[in-house]
Amino acid sequence: MQKIYGFVAEFNPFHNGHKLFIDEIKQKFHPDVLIAVMSGNYVQRGDFAVLDKWKRAQIAIENGVDLVVELPFAYAVEPADLFAKGAILLLDKLKVNNLVFGTENDLDFESVASEMLELNTEFKQDYQNNYATNLTEFYKKSGIDVLEHPNQLLGINYVQQILKNAYSMKVNTIIRQGSVSATKIRQDFHDGITIEDSVPKSSLSALKNDKIISWDDLFPYLKYRILSDSSCELHGIYQMVEGLENKFKKEISNDDFSGFLDGVKSKRYTRARLRRLALYTLMNIHDEEINAVYDDPYLRVLGFDRIGQNYLNELKKDSEFIVRVGKNERNTLSLDLKADSIRKLIDNREQNFGKIPFMEGKD
């Protein structure tokens, strides 16, 4: 039986820590195929990927990944549990039999995830604090510190999905090495601090030559959406709850996105959740668009090497879930097409039509 290894990533941007992670997987496990499920042009904390999905997929292939597929927007821009649900679902459809992820320290993820699934006491939201604070305290009662070790939270959610759905997937972990942080790299690059020692040359070159899109670029469009829609219309936006539409209306008079976010922020909502909600608002996303993707899962190939290409050929007999723009008439693609078209407003780069997966060795 082939050893098909898979992992989940954002590569925002691809850095030397990612390269070490990939190299260690190959040295330790010797996979026949290594697959990455990668967020597209938007990331889990409600922000824009610093490089577009095609460039990030290319860099990943050039640095050892055999196949990169896109995690749809409907899963990529969600809290950890739904992010994990979509990512593990796609890895299962790709017949991955070994999940691997990075962690800050050694933990029996399968035992912890199993115990948490069996807890009789359900997680209860305490509205005196935000969701993240409550969830952190909930995990802490089980001996897990997701603030000190944030990758543990995603790891536990990955394993819970495997257990809940009885996926045939073995769990493997790699202890994170060094202190390379994508967040710090992005901040240093923004501040003009050198990042040459933290990223491969391909990432550095792309960051220097591409337009880096941020909320500052899209804030005028968000402002237009909030000002032109009624409170009733805003109330229909996905995850718009508890009168947040009125708070959005009140605070949109701020001059920039940071000020707007500070105005909306409260103990009950994290900045990540509010950024996600701002994205849903910007794109006028409603429950039915998200649910359509959940009801009809699919994946899109962004890049591959020769090994990845051969593996895709093996999957062709059971590949109805693999879609390609222009080749598939599928309503669920409309959300990703809309999200990417809004990004295109800033740099005018086509993200879908006419785009083909990167193949290593070809222009």
What pLDDT was estimated at residue 173? 94
Averaged pLDDT, 95-115: 89
Averaged pLDDT, 163-183: 89
pLDDT tops 70 at residue 182: yes
Q: Band of the pLDDT at 325, cuts 50, 70, 90?
A: confident
pLDDT tops 60 at residue 122: no
Span 243-255, pLDDT tens digits: 999 999 999 999 9
Residue 170 backbone class (left: φ over 0; alpha: ψ -120 to 50; beta: rest)? beta
What pLDDT was estimated at residue 285? 98
Q: Band of the pLDDT at 111, cuts 50, 70, 90?
A: confident
pLDDT tops 60 at residue 35: yes
163 within 8 A of 114, measured Cβ to Cβ: yes
Maximum mean pLDDT: which of 53-67, 145-159, 317-331: 53-67
Q: Residue 272 is encoded by which pair of tokens? A: 């990540």
Among 36-40, 148-152, 220-224, 235-239, which stretch is predicted with the lowest mean pLDDT?
148-152
Averaged pLDDT, 138-164: 78
- Taking all residues of the chain, what is their mean pLDDT, rounded to a whole number? 90
What pLDDT was estimated at residue 120? 46
Among 16-25, 34-43, 108-117, which stretch is predicted with the lowest mean pLDDT?
108-117
What pLDDT was estimated at residue 268? 84
What residue ranges do the domains of the chain occupy? 4-119+148-210+296-332+349-359, 215-289
Span 264-282, pLDDT tens digits: 998 888 899 999 999 999 9
Full-model pTM: 0.92
What pLDDT was estimated at residue 125? 45
Span 190-237, pLDDT tens digits: 999 999 999 999 999 999 999 999 999 999 999 999 999 999 999 999
Hey, what CATH class is 4-119+148-210+296-332+349-359 in? alpha beta
What pLDDT was estimated at residue 128? 47
Q: What HEC string does 143-181 produce?
A: CCCCCCCCHHHHHHHHHHHHHHHCCCCEEEEEECCCCCC
What pLDDT was estimated at residue 177? 72
Averaged pLDDT, 44-50: 96
Span 4-32, pLDDT tens digits: 999 999 999 999 999 999 999 999 999 99
Please, what's the b/e burial string for 292-324 (b: 16 or more CB within 10 A of its CB; e: otherwise)? bbeeebbbbbbbbbebbeebbeeeeeeeeebbe
What pLDDT was estimated at residue 345? 95
What pLDDT was estimated at residue 160? 94
pLDDT tops 80 at residue 308: yes
Amino acid identity, position 235? H
Among 15-19, 126-130, 195-199, 353-357, which stretch is predicted with the lowest mean pLDDT?
126-130
Higher pLDDT, 129 or 237: 237
CA atoms of 212 and 223, how far apart (whole Å): 20
Percent of the chain at pLDDT exceeding 70: 88
Averaged pLDDT, 69-94: 96
CA atoms of 271 and 46, how far apart (whole Å): 9
